[in-house]
Structure 1
Amino acid sequence: MIVILLIGGLLCWLTARANEHAAKWVALVTMLIDAALICGVCFTQRVSSINTWIVDIKTQWIPAYGIGFHLAMDGLSMVMLLLTFFLGTLAVLCSWNEIKQRTGFYYFNLLCTLAGIAGVFVAMDLFLFYFFWEVMLVPMYFLIAIWGDTNRRYAAYKFFIFTQAGGLLMLIAILSLYFIHAAQSGVYSYDYFDLLNTTLQPSAARWIMMGFLVAFVIKLPMVPLHNWLPDAHSEAPTAGSLILAGLLLKTGAYGIMRFVLPLFPQAAEAIAWWAMLLAVIGIVYGAMLAFAQTDIKRLIAYTSVSHMGFVLLGIFSFNAVAMQGVVMQMITHGISTGALFVLAGMLKERLHTRDIESMGGLWSSLPAMGAVGMLFTMASLGLPMLGNFIAEFLVLMGAFTANVPLTVIATFGLVFSAIYSLRFVQKVFLGPSTFQKPLPDFSAREFVMMAALSIAIVWLGVYPQPVLDMVQHAVQAVVTK
């Protein structure tokens, strides 16, 4: 799957020299092939009964330094890959008419970013994991810096500096773990399963864990390390915002679940209260700042800070119910917030503004867009029968057993999310109309995109059991380490 993305990206770049329109089709076909492959794996495996790795590929890469090419997939990885290729396909579709310059290079960077994200979700060698972590960073920088909005270079620099600083801390932590393991066992190895057996002194475990954790919470993002996110979201092209919100933020949560908790269980438990406190601050702070925004993309970006606070809260609750809620939140947030960013891109294309104060009364001109906007706004605020409600309910139910006061405060975040969500609908779709000329509603391409997202969020709200079954054993393994 990763190789197909890289080859597809290269073909986009090469074919665009002859025909720029052909590059779009190459990118779309590439994404559909990968989506078909992961769906094939999903439907041919009896995931609910699996308690081991579904796929485990291991071969030597640089044996002199203990670096192996080790990729493995369990239920958690499979769910994240399904989300990656679903949103990746939509990212190609929403770029169809938006990107008019350097089309081939654009799709090359988009597919390389997705290849890096897919690699992060399956890499079981820490050197390889770090390699993929950096692979997804550089092309995303180009997507923002070249095809972004007015202040794109500033946003791209800030995104790169924040994430690169976190990545370097993680590299130091990986090397520390590597050398400590070698001193104990006499074997140099970056393999995840080898490093799980490393015995660490409490002080060493705490410092090494912080190296991993800081890198992951920057990407999550956690307050106060969230500063890069609103600028990156607001300046990125629509597909860039979709990939950032739907997938890049999830790599941080995935990293905590896959590496921080299993490798450093005691050290992680020692800081759990502080992590939950920062999560609750993020939930409330993100919601308050979202309410204050007039730029539609910055508003949605701050909702991400608030919603990802629930992810951090659930992870450090250390129980299976909250952890299943975390996985659901990662998926449903990717779908609902991604859909809102796609909707913001459509509105910008029609109105040539992102200022919600300049909008109003759009429901009469764009009834289908208004209905879909209402659906995903309701999903974002956690309305029952939609996916986000299941996720937040499970997180809060699990967190309640770990820390009652912080969970009660976090619950108020749902009230705040209702306030900023209803303000968004009121300002954009209701009230007196500010545009006299008729506006085009969904095109066929846009209708297909929003229909796919709408079906996904409703299905996850009505029948989330397949996802919960898929991740059950992976979640249980994380909690019991």
Structure 2
Amino acid sequence: MITLLILIPIIGSLLLIPISSEDNIENKKARAQAMRRIALTTSLINLFVSLFIWYQFDSNTTQYQFVSEFNQLNFAHLNFGIDGISLFFVLLTTFVTPIALLSNYSNINKNLKLFLISFLLLESLQICAFVSLDLLLFYIFFESVLPILFIIIVIFGHGEDRFRSAFLLFLYTLAGSLPMLLCILSIYSYIGSTDFQLISLCEISLDSQKILWLGFFIAFAVKTPLYPFIIWLPKAHSDSPLAGSIILAATILKLATYGYIRVLLNFFPDATNYFSPLVQTIASITIIYASLSTIIQQDTKRLIAYSSVAHMGVLVLGLFSNTIQGIEGAILLAIAHGFVSPALFTCVGGVIYERTGSRIINYIRGLATYMPVFTILFFVFTLANTGIPLTLNFLGEQLSLIGIWQQNPYIATLGATGILLSACYSLFLYNRLSYGSYSPHLPILKDINRREYSLLISLLIPTIIFGIIPNVILNPLHISTSALLYSV
């Protein structure tokens, strides 16, 4: 099943390659439409396969399920499997990919084939990273998304600064991951294998754990991102196309979240306990710094990007709380962020930007006058971003903070300021864009169309449903997260 999940987007990419776009205008339009349908259908089939895996998943065991191995080649031993934690990251990836394709469904016409193939390959590579049962494989797929993201920003991004943004993304995350590669090679020389299950059975001394832990943490902190490694994310978001921002916020940042859980908490529990105060301090600084930076932003996409950084800080606090509530809350918050952040990017970087041609907040005002349906949906997602009850964001943030409160009430108090500040910047943004006298710089704008409405509703429904019945997610998580706790 996992092999099928990985291969379907690759097969879809291969189907796109033979389609020629060199023809008269009518044929060109028809073939472009055919390419879009093939890519969208492929991603939807993959979503249904992942839902079937969820249906078949046994939540009463910590063992990896649907394990598949490929060792026919001497130089490659591919080993894949899913447990309660990786299951939901895979589901998030397969759910968000068709949404990303739909978000730029009609406004990408040049190099369309490259655009569609890039996102299908990105889906396969992310799934491979989440289901890899080998540390070296995880590193390869963890890094393999960078060249594709670089191409997406450079070719399909907007703004003269997109080249700098693409290089910042590529170089920051590549340089940050080099210590991780050195640590993987050290583990291989010490243990003789990079297999997850073999590493978890080996005793590693505290001094060795500390060094290895720091190497992995630097890589994941850059990808999260945590302060002071956050400069690349707002620029990458502001200069990438809407689909790139959606994928970056929803799933690429979750590679680091998955890395914290799978590597740091699992393999280096003693070092994690030793460095937890440091991580909690960095996460608290990240929350406050990013939240204050968010309030003063004038570019709508940069504002949402900085808010993502603040939410990821709360998530990291929950992960390093060494409590079931904290870790499960962090995973819930990761999933909720994967719904709400793409929706906000769709609102400000899709609906508003496509109609006004601007992302500068001062030029946009009074949208409620001509766009009432959009304003209502935008308001609901703004509230979800602040973490109000009956949304998955509320449960994720509360459980994360309850978990860290049991370890350190002072850090939990600092983390909770993120909720207050998120209400400030979210409602401040919504109020400035939606109300007041209609901006004289804008023509009369049309309300959202059927495609945009479908996108936003698709993201709203799981946010509310899982916020009301979170046990659908929590039940498969309980056993897997319990195995991550370490005794002090």
| TM-score, normalised with respect to structure 1 | 0.95
Q: Tell me the residue number matched to 1:475.
A: 481
Q: What aligned pairs does 1:321-340 form with structure 2 within 5 A after superposition?
A: 321-340=325-344
Contact 2:466 2:472 in 1 (8 A): no
1:157-213 per-position Cα deviation (integer Å, ceiling 9, x unaligned): 00000111122221111101000113xxxxxx2211112233323222211111111
CA distance in 1, matches of 2:328, 2:358: 39
* 1:260 Cα deviation from its structure 2 partner: 1.2
Q: Tell me the residue number matched to 2:25.
A: none
- The answer to whether the aligner puts 1:408 opposite 2:413 as a matched pair is yes
Q: What aligned pairs does 1:121-270 form with structure 2 within 5 A after superposition?
A: 121-150=130-159, 151-182=161-192, 189-270=193-274
Q: What aligned pairs does 1:219-368 form with structure 2 within 5 A after superposition?
A: 219-344=223-348, 345-368=350-373
CA distance in 2, matches of 1:431, 1:16: 49
Relative to 1, partners in 2 of residues 1:349 and 1:272: Cα closer, same or farther, differing over 3 Å? same
RMSD: 1.5
Q: Tell me the residue number matched to 1:52.
A: 63
Contact 2:269 2:486 in 1 (8 A): no
- The answer to whether the aligner puts 1:22 opposite 2:18 as a matched pair is no
Look up the SS of the partner of 1:56 in the other structure.
Answer: strand
Look up the SS of the partner of 2:77 in the other structure.
Answer: strand
Residue ranges of structure 1 left out of the alignment (5+ in a row) = 183-188
Q: What aligned pairs does 1:414-433 form with structure 2 within 5 A after superposition?
A: 414-433=419-438
* 1:46 Cα deviation from its structure 2 partner: 4.5
* 1:5 Cα deviation from its structure 2 partner: 1.2
1:43-70 per-position Cα deviation (integer Å, ceiling 9, x unaligned): 23343x3432222122325557xx5211
Contact 2:326 2:402 in 1 (8 A): yes
1:257-304 per-position Cα deviation (integer Å, ceiling 9, x unaligned): 011111111111100001001111111111100001010000000001
- The answer to whether the aligner puts 1:69 opposite 2:83 as a matched pair is no
* 1:137 Cα deviation from its structure 2 partner: 1.4
The code of the aligned residue for 1:210 comes to: L
Contact 1:12 1:24 in 2 (8 A): no
Look up the SS of the partner of 2:18 in the other structure.
Answer: helix
Residue ranges of structure 2 left out of the alignment (5+ in a row) = 23-30
Between the aligned residues of both structures, percent identity stands at: 31
The code of the aligned residue for 1:175 comes to: L
CA distance in 1, matches of 2:215, 2:271: 12
Q: Tell me the residue number matched to 2:103.
A: 94
Look up the SS of the partner of 2:484 in the other structure.
Answer: helix
The code of the aligned residue for 2:324 comes to: A
Contact 1:222 1:305 in 2 (8 A): yes
| TM-score, normalised with respect to structure 2 | 0.94
Look up the SS of the partner of 2:81 in the other structure.
Answer: strand
CA distance in 2, matches of 1:14, 1:162: 35
Q: Tell me the residue number matched to 1:4.
A: 8
Q: Which moved more, 1:132-141 or 1:115-124?
A: 132-141
Contact 2:54 2:87 in 1 (8 A): yes
Match of 1:466 among 463, 472, 487: 472
Contact 1:115 1:136 in 2 (8 A): no
Q: Which moved more, 1:289-298 or 1:429-438?
A: 429-438
Contact 1:379 1:386 in 2 (8 A): yes
CA distance in 2, matches of 1:102, 1:324: 41
Relative to 1, partners in 2 of residues 1:174 and 1:369: Cα closer, same or farther, differing over 3 Å? same
Look up the SS of the partner of 1:136 in the other structure.
Answer: helix
CA distance in 1, matches of 2:20, 2:104: 15
